[in-house]
Amino acid sequence: MYTEVRAVTKYVRMSAHKVRLVVDQVRGKSVEEALNILRFSPKAAAKEVAKTISSAAANADANHGLSREELYVAEIKADEGPTMRRGRAASRGRSMPILKRSSHITVVLSERAR
């Protein structure tokens, strides 16, 4: 039986659509390879995704005694979080909506089959 370790980062102030562009690049990769890809990615979401993967790897080491070399990104997803609704004044006394979106990043690491 293989151990699965998870980490969740909630309320990241970025739209889930932008985070999914980064998340799709590291799905199925080993932890070290995923962190290297994210380290050189120009996307702002790469920093938050890297933090979440590092947190999951630290959880695996501290709670289950697994080494980083054996782990890979089994599942990773970016879901929508709550949206803050703001308004901006427009012409003729109207108001135009500003949607400040957020997202939740979930990472599940697992051991490679030997």
Closest CA to 20 of 87, 113, 109, 106: 106
Closest CA to 67 of 26, 25, 109: 109
Determine the Cα–Cα distance for residues 56 and 52; give it in Å rounded to an integer.
6
Please state the domain extents for the chain. 4-111
How many of the other CB atoms lie within 10 Å of CB of 78? 26
Q: What is the CATH number of domain 4-111?
A: 3.90.470.10
pTM recorded for the entire structure:
0.92
In the prediction, which pLDDT does 112 show? 83
Strand partners, 73: 109
pLDDT tens digits, 37-64: 999 999 999 999 999 999 999 999 999 9
The first and second tokens of residue 113, run together, are: 């089959």
